[in-house]
């Protein structure tokens, strides 16, 4: 057997837990989750949410930690190599793993631009740039001017936003350049505690608001808690609510992307994946349900009341984070400090996620092509920088929405279904069960052996089927068909959306070609065994 090149590794169990939690805890915990919960039945949303957590999130988390550690033992840190390690006799199995590099890359090329907004707004808060703005319309105009979507009194073009994008991009590459232990782990070990401190400060401040407007005494914290958490059980009849809950679990745990596979590949064979994975997931759930569920929506209810808050939850996560929350904080003492805490919290959540999204592509170059870490990071930087540009300059033309659907939604669920079937049915559930418990400090409840083999893959196939078959109320065709045919896309934007789809197909093709090249080289060198 050929020698396997010594790979980077984590410095401690706490390091990997903080890194995986950092990957999972992102903007969606503080923006997407409260908006989805409030607009999908409130407390009733938590029923399909926790069912999805138990039947999808936790099983997928254990699957990915186990697969990653298994593949890392053969020198593979990305899905193509890891899948090949499961069934070496199959020539095509590695090509299914391309999605595990494609998905994170696609998310990275638009996520990092959004992340840069949070860094910019952190500085704007300290400088008081938006603190005199009185209402939603002016705050939206400020945001659109910053994004370059309109010229107004606040900004003249996209120049400032682009500078913050460059700063954020360089910072991400700097972390990636320094590797697992000295880059990603070092970042997460200080960023995650600071994120939780900021989150707890904001939660305490919001829960202590009381009743700011004596004319409307029912606009208070208890009313906000009721608005968010009182269950509308009729919502459970809607398939959309169940799909939204399942989708949120994917987003919040970063499963089905390929990132956890790569992170876990830097573990040693005897490292525990059961307790470590569960700890990382629990950390994420605390951030989402306790902190994310106790800030934006409750504060909005206190200051804007139930009707406007309902409209706010349906206006999109950007409005929630960059319009509504700044307006709320402007009404409080120490507004500039609280604004900085809010936006820098989002920035910390963003950067710990974005560096994880870059890691699969960098690891692929390192492990399969034998390129050293620093050179691999620079190659990734050059390619991803070019790919980021359409998301920046064509934001208004639907490019980001298109990237988000394919990279952050559809392929995410498809990849999760593939890896679950490979793990439970190709690798074999008995062998997989033993692999999960290798070096484990606790036993997984035996019911999960049945869940992982049958329930999780069926649940995932059901979600995929619903996308293809579910017809929304008032429509005459499935939502997926409408999306493919660009029914809701303005005629002026269709060329941009089509170009984005062609670009995504091109990325998939290039990745497939790279996989073919590297395995051909391995066979010629006599290294095709692993």
Per-residue pLDDT of 370-406, as tens digits, reads 999 999 999 999 999 999 999 999 999 999 999 998 9
Helix (H) or strand (E) holding 183: none
Assigned domain for 279 exists: yes
* Residues spanned by the domain of 234: 13-524
The residues, any chain, with a CB within 8 Å of residue 469's CB and separated by 6 or more, are 478
Q: Which residues face 42 on adjacent strands?
A: 231
Phi and psi based region of residue 11 (left: phi greater than 0; alpha: psi -120 to 50; beta: remaining): alpha
The predicted pLDDT at position 4 comes to 52
Given pLDDT bands bounded at 50, 70 and 90, which one contains residue 354?
very high
Helix (H) or strand (E) holding 123: helix 99-127
Beta-strand runs (E) in 222-261:
none
Q: Say if residue 123's pLDDT is above 80.
A: yes
Assigned domain for 530 exists: no
How do residues 479-506 score in pLDDT, each as one tens digit?
A: 788 888 898 899 999 999 999 999 999 9
Task: Name the percent of the chain in helix, strand, coil, to the closest 5.
Answer: 75, 0, 25
CA distance 276 to 20: 9
The SS3 of residue 202 is helix
Q: What is the mean pLDDT of the segment spanning 65-81? A: 93
The predicted pLDDT at position 527 comes to 53
Q: Inter-axis angle of helices 99-127 and 411-421, to 10 degrees?
A: 140
The predicted pLDDT at position 366 comes to 95
CA distance 27 to 50: 20
Residue 331: alpha-carbon gap to chain centroid: 31
Please count the other Cβ atoms lying within 10 Å of the Cβ belonging to residue 529. Answer: 10
Given pLDDT bands bounded at 50, 70 and 90, which one contains residue 5?
low
Assigned domain for 377 exists: yes
Nearest one of 426, 502, 487 to 88, comparing CA atoms: 426
Assigned domain for 5 exists: no
Q: What is the mean pLDDT of the segment spanning 135-160? A: 92
Ranges of H-type helices in 370-446 = 373-393, 399-405, 411-421, 429-436
Structural domain total, the chain: 1
Q: C-alpha dihedral over 429, 427, 454, 78, to 10 degrees? A: 120
Least confident of 27-31, 52-56, 349-353: 27-31
Nearest one of 276, 169, 297 to 226, comparing CA atoms: 297
The predicted pLDDT at position 529 comes to 46
CA distance 174 to 132: 36
Mean pLDDT of the chain: 90
Residue 102: alpha-carbon gap to chain centroid: 14
In angstroms, the first-to-last Cα distance of the chain is: 8
The predicted pLDDT at position 479 comes to 77
Given pLDDT bands bounded at 50, 70 and 90, which one contains residue 251?
confident
Least confident of 197-201, 264-268, 303-307, 365-369: 303-307
CA distance 253 to 50: 13
Q: Could you give the C-alpha distances from 74 to 69, 81, 185, 367, 530, in angstroms and in order?
A: 9, 9, 22, 10, 6
For residues 60 and 41, is the Cβ–Cβ distance under 8 A?
A: no
Residue 144: alpha-carbon gap to chain centroid: 24
Name the DSSP letter for residue 91.
S
Given pLDDT bands bounded at 50, 70 and 90, which one contains residue 246?
confident
CA distance 351 to 359: 13
**CA angle (107 as vertex; 25, 150 as ends), nearest 5:** 100
Name the DSSP letter for residue 154.
S
Given pLDDT bands bounded at 50, 70 and 90, which one contains residue 1?
very low
Q: Say if residue 262's pLDDT is above 80.
A: yes
Assigned domain for 3 exists: no
Higher local confidence (pLDDT), 232 or 100: 100
CA distance 146 to 154: 8
Q: Say if residue 528's pLDDT is above 50.
A: no
Count of alpha carbons within 13 angstroms of residue 44, beta-carbon side:
14
Higher local confidence (pLDDT), 217 or 295: 295
CA distance 275 to 20: 13
The residues, any chain, with a CB within 8 Å of residue 3's CB and separated by 6 or more, are none
For residues 48 and 55, is the Cβ–Cβ distance under 8 A?
A: no
- Residue 465: burial class (beta carbons within 10 Å; 0-12, 13-18, 19+): exposed
The residues, any chain, with a CB within 8 Å of residue 340's CB and separated by 6 or more, are 122, 125, 126
How do residues 163-213 score in pLDDT, each as one tens digit?
A: 999 999 999 999 999 999 999 999 999 999 999 999 999 999 999 987 776
For residues 133 and 142, is the Cβ–Cβ distance under 8 A?
A: yes
The CATH number covering residue 270 comes to: 1.20.1740
Assigned domain for 8 exists: no
The secondary structure of 9-30 as a DSSP string is --S-HHHHHHHHHHHH-SHIII
How do residues 445-471 score in pLDDT, each as one tens digit?
A: 999 999 999 999 999 998 888 878 877
The predicted pLDDT at position 522 comes to 83
Q: What is the mean pLDDT of the segment spanning 19-44? A: 87
Assigned domain for 171 exists: yes
Which of 77-81, 315-319, 525-529 tops mean pLDDT? 77-81
Given pLDDT bands bounded at 50, 70 and 90, which one contains residue 214?
confident
Q: Say if residue 108's pLDDT is above 50.
A: yes
Residue 380: alpha-carbon gap to chain centroid: 19
For residues 354 and 112, is the Cβ–Cβ distance under 8 A?
A: yes
Higher local confidence (pLDDT), 344 or 254: 344
The predicted pLDDT at position 371 comes to 94
CA Rg value for the chain: 23
Q: C-alpha dihedral over 278, 282, 288, 294, to 10 degrees? A: 170
The predicted pLDDT at position 227 comes to 84
Nearest one of 484, 451, 480 to 464, comparing CA atoms: 480
Assigned domain for 2 exists: no
């Amino acid at each position: 057997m050929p020698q396997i090149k010594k790979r980077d590794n984590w410095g401690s169990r706490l390091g990997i837990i903080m890194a995986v939690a950092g990957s999972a805890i992102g903007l969606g915990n503080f923006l997407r989750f409260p908006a989805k919960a409030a607009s999908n039945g409130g407390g009733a949303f938590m029923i399909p949410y926790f069912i999805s957590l138990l039947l999808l999130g936790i099983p997928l988390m254990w699957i990915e930690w186990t697969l990653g550690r298994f593949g890392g033992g053969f020198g593979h840190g990305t899905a193509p190599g890891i899948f090949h390690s499961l069934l070496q006799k199959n020539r095509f199995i590695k090509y299914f793993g391309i999605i595990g590099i494609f998905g994170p890359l696609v998310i990275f090329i638009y996520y990092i631009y959004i992340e840069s907004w949070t860094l910019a707004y952190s500085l704007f808060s300290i400088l008081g740039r938006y603190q005199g703005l009185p209402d939603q319309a002016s705050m939206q105009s400020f945001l659109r001017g910053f994004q370059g979507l309109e010229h107004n009194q606040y900004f003249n073009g996209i120049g400032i936003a682009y500078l913050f994008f460059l700063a954020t991009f360089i910072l991400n590459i700097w972390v990636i350049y320094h590797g697992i232990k000295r880059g990603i782990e070092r970042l997460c070990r200080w960023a995650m505690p600071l994120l939780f401190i900021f989150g707890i400060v904001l939660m305490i401040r919001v829960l202590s608001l009381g009743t700011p407007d004596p004319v409307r005494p029912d606009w208070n914290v208890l009313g906000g808690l009721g608005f968010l958490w009182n269950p509308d059980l009729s919502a459970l009849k809607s398939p959309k609510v169940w799909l939204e809950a399942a989708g949120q679990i994917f987003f919040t745990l970063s499963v089905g992307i390929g990132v956890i596979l790569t992170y876990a590949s830097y573990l040693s064979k005897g490292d525990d994946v059961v307790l470590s994975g569960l700890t990382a997931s629990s950390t994420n759930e605390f951030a989402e349900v306790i902190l994310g569920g106790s800030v934006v929506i409750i504060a909005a209810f206190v200051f804007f009341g139930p009707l406007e808050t309902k409209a706010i939850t349906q206006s999109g996560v950007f409005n929630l984070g960059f319009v509504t929350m700044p307006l709320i904080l402007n009404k409080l003492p120490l507004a500039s400090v609280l604004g900085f805490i809010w936006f820098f919290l989002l920035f910390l959540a963003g950067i710990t996620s974005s560096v994880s999204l870059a890691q699969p592509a960098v690891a692929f170059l390192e492990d399969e092509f034998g390129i050293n870490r620093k050179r691999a990071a620079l190659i990734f930087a050059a390619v991803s920088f070019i790919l980021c540009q359409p998301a920046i300059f064509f934001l208004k033309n639907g490019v980001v929405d298109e990237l988000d659907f394919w990279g952050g939604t559809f392929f995410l669920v498809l990849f999760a279904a593939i890896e679950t079937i490979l793990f439970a049915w190709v690798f074999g559930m008995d062998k997989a069960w033993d692999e999960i418990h290798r070096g484990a400090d606790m036993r997984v409840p035996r019911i999960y052996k049945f869940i992982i083999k049958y329930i999780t893959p069926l649940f995932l196939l059901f979600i995929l089927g619903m996308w293809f078959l579910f017809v929304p109320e008032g429509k005459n065709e499935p939502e997926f068909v409408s999306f493919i045919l660009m029914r809701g896309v303005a005629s002026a934007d269709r060329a941009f959306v089509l170009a984005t789809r062609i670009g995504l197909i091109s990325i998939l093709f290039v990745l497939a070609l790279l996989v073919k090249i590297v395995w051909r080289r391995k066979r010629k060198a006599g290294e095709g065994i692993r």
